[in-house]
Amino acid sequence: MLWAADASLPWDVTASKAAVLGFPETTVGMTVTSAGTKLLPHLVGLGKAKELVLTGDFIDAFEAQRIGLVNKVVAPENLMTESMAMAEKIASRSPLATSLSRTALDHGMEASFDQIMELEKSHLLICVQAGTEFV
């Protein structure tokens, strides 16, 4: 499976052992899209991001996992089952808490310590005020 990796960046990713990922845009005279140039350095570091984007080289699923581009590598025949199991586990959690936690994690990459503490406090208050059967 050959895959332009920038399509995966906004989501949590499980990859098949057969996957080959990369940013081939520069090899065809294009640039990375989908905020890949913003998100990729946060995942893999600026140096590795530059290497992947500027060379257009592809990497296998295990290298993608090692550098943090994917979370999990599974056998091709288990990809859908494993992906659905993770999705079902996440879906079984409080939708409000899950959404707010994802937002905080995404903002935490850029926010100061004080800003993220305020955001977490406001999210906790939202959860408490909404009530939940998950407590």
DSSP string, the chain: -EEEGGGGTTS--EEETT-EEE-GGGGGT----TTHHHHHHHHH-HHHHHHHHHH--EEEHHHHHHTTS-SEEE-GGGHHHHHHHHHHHHHTS-HHHHHHHHHHHHHHTTS-HHHHHHHHHHHHHHHHHH--TT-
How many CA atoms lie less than 13 Å away from 10 in the CB half-sphere?
A: 5
Average pLDDT of the segment spanning 58-62: 95
- Output the average pLDDT for the chain: 87
pTM: 0.77
pLDDT at residue 9 tops 70: no
End-to-end CA distance of the chain: 42
Average pLDDT of the segment spanning 89-111: 90
pLDDT at residue 121 tops 80: yes
Which of the four pLDDT bands, split at 50, 70 and 90, describes residue 135?
low
Average pLDDT of the segment spanning 27-47: 88
- Domain 2-79: what homologous superfamily? 2-enoyl-CoA Hydratase; Chain A, domain 1 (3.90.226.10)
